[in-house]
Amino acid sequence: MKIVIVGDGKVGNALARQLSSENHDITMIDKNAARLNDSVDRLDIMGVVGNGASIPVLQEADTGHCDVLIAAASLDEANLLSCVCGRHLGVPRTIARVRNPEYNDQLYEMRETMGLSMMINPERATAQEIIRVIAFPAAVHIDTFAMGRVELVEYGIDSDSPLVGVSLLNLPHLFKNKVLICAVERSGEVTIPKGDFTLLAGDRIHITGTPKEISGFLDHLEGEKQHIRSIMILGGGRIAFYLCQMLGTKYQIKIIEKDYDRCEEICDRFPHVVVIHANGSDINLLESEGLLEIDAFIALSGMDEENLVTAMVANQRDVPKVITKITRNDYQSILENIHDITVVNPKMSAVNHIVSYVRSLQNSHGLDHVITIYKLVNGKAEADEFLAGAKTHFLGRPFSTLSLKPNMLVGAIIREDKVIIPTGNDCILEGDHVVVVSGSRSLHSLNDIFGELPS
Amino acid sequence: MSLKVLSGYLSTILKMNVAFLIIPLIYALIASEYASFKGFAVTAVISLVLGLLCGLPKQGLQKPVYIKDGFIVVAASWLLLSLMGALPFYISGQIPSFVDALFESTSGFSTTGATLLPNVESLQNSMLLWRSLTHWIGGLGVLVLLIAMVPSIGGNNSNSSGYNLYRADFSGPTPVKLVPKLRQNAKILVGIYLFLTLLETILLLLGGMPLLDSLTTAFSTAATGGFSVKDISIAAYHSSYLIIVIGIFMMLFGVSFNIYFFLMIRNIKGVAKNEELRVYLIIIAVSTALISFNIANQFEHYSTALMHSFFQVSSIITSTGFASVNYDLWPTFSKSILFLLMFIGACSGSTSNGIKVSRIIILFKDMRRRLFKIGHPRSVEVVKFNGKVMDQKVVGTVSGFFATYMVIIALSFVVVAANGFDFETSLSAVVSCFAGTGPGFGGVGPMENYSKFSAISKLILSFDMILGRVEIYPILLFFSPRTWRKV
């Protein structure tokens, strides 16, 4: 597909890199010639210097003939204008990054009047991601498929958990929730479990299911003991703002922010939130503000280093749930081995959202194609969401009549609005979104997972 | 740069050379030209063995090619190809001296078209085909051909290897991408190149030219080379039709290939606002008019004078070097205009050599700006090209290029002058070789040849031809010791 990206920032650049490696034709527009030249040198893309909200510049990038226009420049208004101009030139699909919370209540109206296909707000998406983690504090990491209809949750089994010693065959008898354990990590090794697999203390399991079923399942396991009530947030930026808005008054929230004006703004908007005007990198201050008593600590300051250090301190002081924002990809590897800290990355969330959207547009001539890819357990396993096409093999054949290749598992099938946690009687139909968990290699197609039963 | 990477690319170049050698080899076999056949066969075997040896270190092509590496690969490719291209001439015994064979081969690949054969027609036909084929291979740039043909080079890698090669081999101040994917880009260029070559071949055949002559002339025109299979070049055919067809095609191959792409996608605005194309056509029109008035009295009809002056202008500005008459007999005024055209060259992004019209435009605009700045030191003015502001750095690069260009001409001139020929012969020989034209004036005029020079002069001139073809920097970088230092 031909894709025009306006704005060569972190998001624009990451998008160009990913989409161009997936063989799309990318043209990038940016005002900064030096930065753009650098990108053109590094990536196999074309660059146009200029204002991406002006029609002549868009025409120079041949926007009229492109399939998708993605506006990811720093200014919301400029992004919206780019998309409107793109629509005028005849672009079928436009995506705008809009992140100002003040526009939050008019998203629907803007989408309708401006004919946008998608609006992406990295900070809001991140806030939603954090909310999901807060809702299941026992889960370390949550990935979503099919616009959040199916979740994949990572959960560690303690020695006093009711799951210890349970064989997977017995699981449906013990718990009424429809969830599927699709990968187990035990002493560094990953297994895609079969029915005779028995869970042990110390295992980290990956579960798929609808958000409701999973939350029921986890509630059942954890009882009420782990519900989060009090939250400390470091940094009162946009994500914190959305969090306050979404969490409402059910939670006790304390925000630590260095900028006084910003403190007043938050006080004004959210009277129930306690706002501390202080430098959050001061550990003593965090402790005196109750770091040892709170249920969750969320580091959302503008500096990765500060977030990283405070999150590690909070984890060390046994705060039950620690979440930190890290923007630079190279810092994430530091936290790889500390399982209990949840990392969020607004820029990459936005990129992944957009890439999934673009993949779902692809016309692959009846073949299936991948929509989302998540790496699990440091890349030792992978969860992929495929869109089944007309030429996918074994359409309509119940799974019990097929043989599944080893180390592989169908985690969920999403048919229109329905989510199916598959059993032997289910099958794949054209247009289904299929979540596949694979323990060994990368999958390229749904046809790689099944074979005929040996007769 | 890692030698593994370099040898990986050289291996591909050598294999490509073998593929091209097959064409004259088959011709020689069919035409029973056994001396030539031996030359091609032995060269192909040497090429193949060397290519396989160079390909032994694994993963050479997977490693990234950085900017500097791109220049080195380009320089090494041209030097190696010129060397390999000389072997068929030498082995078949048709050019007995190796230095002479090297000169002829370099002249071919660099699309110069300077020959030292006093009697071209004595070469076997398959050898004539090879001579013109080297033009065609070198015309678009070896690396552009490679990127288009070999998926692993221009392929679907999101790193910049292909682009760094493409940039190093591009002729003109700044490389232009027409479509986002580099490989697609290269394929478009090769497609346009093939199409125009074929079109010209057909038109020449229709004009009654024999097949071999049509093919070789089309190859020479497409690459703006200038090798002809006749001793007295195009004048040998005595046909106004052929002169006009070749004249027009030379002019067309001097136009940036981007223009043809714009025409293909019907982007008329992109063509209309192209400043370089406009200036290029104006230069051709004005020079043709001036020369035709100047030589009018040498011909019966003014139209004949006009035809020959157009052909010669088109031939020299695009650095082709065909001759429809012996223009060395023209008045000094006409000759001096032709001499200037040699320097200018045609449009960037075409197959022609020389300084390029775009650089000349930028130089003049920059000159005017600097002049104004002397009187108004605080004035701010920008250099605009194609309606866009040029980056000061690019403007500076163009001045630097021009200065280097002149220095190389001056130094080579001194060496070549040691042969003791007159001023006109020595200077025009150097400029003509460096600018890729081929023939010059006086002792190296269109009906003369380069055999009279000493071996050392021939080597210097060969070197100038490659320098001119790759636009100087790759070769200079290749021979600069600082390039090969690790830090």
Contact B165, B153 (CB under 8 A): yes
Place B156 in a pLDDT band, splitting at 50, 70 and 90.
Answer: very low
- CA–chain centroid gap for B240, Å, is 26
Residue B19: pLDDT band (50, 70, 90) is very high
Return the residue of B nearest to A19 by Cα.
B158
User: Which residues does chain B have within 8 Å of residue A20's beta carbon, measured at their own beta carbons?
Assistant: 158, 180
If one counts every other C-beta atom within 10 angstroms of the C-beta of residue A431, the result is: 12
A396 exposure class (CB count in 10 Å sphere: 0-12, 13-18, 19+):
exposed
Which residues, numbered 124 to 143 in chain A, qualify as contacts with chain B under a Cβ-Cβ cut-off of 8 Å? Answer: none
- State yes or no: pLDDT of B154 exceeds 60: no
Whole-number pLDDT of residue B335: 94
Predicted pLDDT at B363: 93
Give B391: exposed, middle or buried? Use CB within 10 Å, 0-12, 13-18, 19+.
Answer: middle
Amino acid in position B459: L
Across chain B, mean pLDDT equals 90
Residue B97 pLDDT level (bands cut at 50, 70, 90): very high
B160: chain A residues, CB-CB within 8 Å: 41-44
Q: B177 CB near a chain A CB, below 8 Å? A: yes
Chain A residues with CB inside 8 Å of B179's CB? 25, 46
Alpha carbon distances (Å) from A221 to A160, A179, A202, A275, B197: 10, 13, 15, 35, 76
* Contact criterion met (CB below 8 Å) for A75 and A96: no
Assign A137 to helix, strand or coil: coil
What does the H/E/C string look like for chain B? CCHHHHHHHHHHHHHHHHHHHHHHHHHHHHCCCHHHHHHHHHHHHHHHHHHHHHCCCCCCCCCCCCHHHHHHHHHHHHHHHHHHHHHHHHHCCCCCCHHHHHHHHHHHHCCCCCCCCCCHHHCCHHHHHHHHHHHHHHHCCHHHHHHHHCHHHHCCCCCCHHHHHHHHHCCCCCCCCCCCCHHHHHHHHHHHHHHHHHHHHHHHHHCCCCHHHHHHHHHHHHCCCCCCCCCCHHHHHCCHHHHHHHHHHHHHHCCCHHHHHHHHCCCHHHHHCCHHHHHHHHHHHHHHHHHHHHHHHHCCCHHHHHHHHHHHHHHHHCCCCCCCCCHHHCCHHHHHHHHHHHHHCCCCCCCCCCCCHHHHHHHHHHHHHHHHHHHCCCCCCCCEECCEECCHHHHHHHHHHHHHHHHHHHHHHHHHHCCCCCHHHHHHHHHHHHCCCCCCCHHHCCCCCCCCCCHHHHHHHHHHHHHHHCCCHHHHHHHCHHHHCCC
State both tokens at B462.
Answer: 């060969």
Establish, for the pair of chains A and B, how many residue pairs have beta carbons separated by less than 8 Å: 40
Place of tokens 């981007």: B258
A371 Cβ contact partners less than 8 Å away, ≥ 6 residues apart:
A145, A146, A356, A359, A360, A385, A386, A387, A433
Which strand (E) or helix (H) includes residue A29?
strand A25-30
B362 — pLDDT class (breaks 50, 70, 90): very high
Half-sphere exposure of residue B47: CA atoms within 13 angstroms, side-chain side: 26
Task: Give the per-residue pLDDT at B146.
Answer: 83
Name the residue of chain B whose CA is nearest to A3's CA: B180
Distance CA B200, CA B253 (A): 11
Name the nearest CA neighbour of A86 among A99, A105, A73.
A73
The answer to whether A237 and A302 have CB atoms below 8 angstroms apart is yes
Least Cα distance to B310 among B347, B283, B345 occurs for B283
Answer yes or no: are the C-beta atoms of B223 and B111 closer than 8 Å: yes
Q: Which residues of A66-89 are buried (b: 16+ CB within 10 A; e: fewer)?
A: bbbbbbbbeebebbbbbbbbbbeb
Residues of chain A with pLDDT below 50 are none
Distance between CA atoms of residues A427 and B118, nearest Å:
81
Which residues in chain B are closer than 8 Å to A45, comparing Cβ atoms? 180
State how far the Cα of B358 lies from the Cα of B144, in Å rounded to an integer: 21
- At B293, the pLDDT band (50, 70, 90 cuts) reads very high
Interchain proximity A44–B182, CB inside 8 Å: yes
Please name which of A258, A264, A253 lies closest in space to residue A235, comparing C-alpha atoms: A258
Element (H, E) at A77: helix A76-89
Query: What is the reported pLDDT for B59?
Result: 64
Res A442: pLDDT: 63
B158 and A17: CB-CB below 8 Å?
yes
List of chain B residues whose C-beta atoms are within 8 Å of the C-beta of residue A44: 156-158, 160, 162-163, 180-182
Query: Residue B89: pLDDT above 70?
Result: yes
Closest CA to B165 of B251, B244, B70, B92: B70
Smallest CA–CA distance from B155 into chain A, residue? A44
Instruction: Characterise B354 by phi-psi region: left (phi > 0), alpha (psi -120 to 50), beta (else).
Output: left
Question: Terminus-to-terminus CA distance in chain A, angstroms?
Answer: 43
Q: Scanning every residue of chain A, which has its alpha carbon at the shortest distance from the alpha carbon of B166?
A: A41
Predicted TM-score of the model (pTM):
0.79
* Closest approach of A17 to chain B, Cα-based (Å): 7
Phi and psi, residue B259, nearest 5°:
-60, -40
- The answer to whether the Cβ–Cβ distance between B158 and A23 falls below 8 Å is no
- How confident is the model over B382-417, as pLDDT tens digits? 888 888 888 888 888 899 999 999 999 999 999 999
Residues B30-46 have a mean pLDDT of: 93
Choice between B308 and B165, residue whose per-residue pLDDT is larger: B308
Query: Is-contact A388 A367, C-beta < 8 A?
Result: no
Which is nearest to B468 in space by CA: B116, B78, B121?
B78
- With an 8 Å Cβ cutoff, is B392 touching chain A? no
The answer to whether the Cβ–Cβ distance between B164 and A20 falls below 8 Å is: no
User: Are the Cβ atoms of A44 and B180 closer than 8 angstroms?
Assistant: yes
Give the Cα separation of B465 and B477 in Å (integer). 16
**Touching check for A31 and chain B: CB below 8 Å?**
no
Contact B391 A26 (CB under 8 A): no
Q: In terms of DSSP bridges, do strands A189-191 and A180-186 run parallel, antiparallel, or are they unpaired? A: antiparallel
Mark yes or no for CB contact B177/A33 under 8 Å: no
On the question of pLDDT at B158 being above 50, the answer is no
Nearest to A20 among B158, B177, B391 (CB): B158
Q: Report the side by side order of strands in the sheet with A93-97.
A: A46-49, A25-30, A2-6, A68-71, A93-97, A118-120
Q: How confident is the model at residue B295 (pLDDT cuts 50, 70, 90)?
A: very high
The verdict on a CB contact (< 8 Å) between A21 and B164 is no
Contacts of A212 (CB under 8 A, 6+ apart): none
A48-52, A392-396, B212-216, B343-347: segment of lowest average pLDDT: A392-396
Is this complex scored with an ipTM above 0.95? Answer: no
pLDDT of residue A455: 59
First to last CA, chain B: 11
Helix axis angle for B392-417 and B357-375, nearest 10°, is 110
Q: Which residues of A touch B177 (CB under 8 A)?
A: 40, 46-47
Element (H, E) at A205: strand A204-209
- pLDDT at site A187: 80
Label residues B295-311 b or e (16+ Cβ within 10 Å = b): beeebeeeebbbbbbbb
- DSSP code, position A405: P
Secondary structure (3-state) at A230: strand
Residues 6+ apart with CB under 8 A from B274: B256, B259, B386
Distance CA B350, CA B162 (A): 19
Rounded-to-integer distance, Cα A217 and Cα A211, Å: 10
Closest partner residue to B180 (CB to CB) among A25, A33, A41 is A25
Interior angle at CA B166, CA B157 and CA B314, nearest 5: 150
Tokens 């074929």: give the residue: B198
Q: Please, are residues B14 and B54 in contact by the beta-carbon 8 Å criterion? A: yes
Which pLDDT does position A31 carry in this prediction?
93
- Rounded distance, CA A76 to CA A78, Å? 5
Q: Are B446 and B233 in contact (CB under 8 A)?
A: yes
Residue-wise pLDDT tens digits, B407-458: 999 999 999 999 889 999 999 999 999 999 999 999 999 888 999 999 999 9
Residue in B closest to A4 by C-alpha: B180
A contacts of B184 (beta carbons < 8 Å): 25
User: CB distance from A17 to chain B under 8 Å?
Assistant: yes
Is residue A20 within 8 A of residue A360, CB to CB? The reply is no
Asked if A20 lies within 8 A of B180 by C-beta distance, the reply is yes
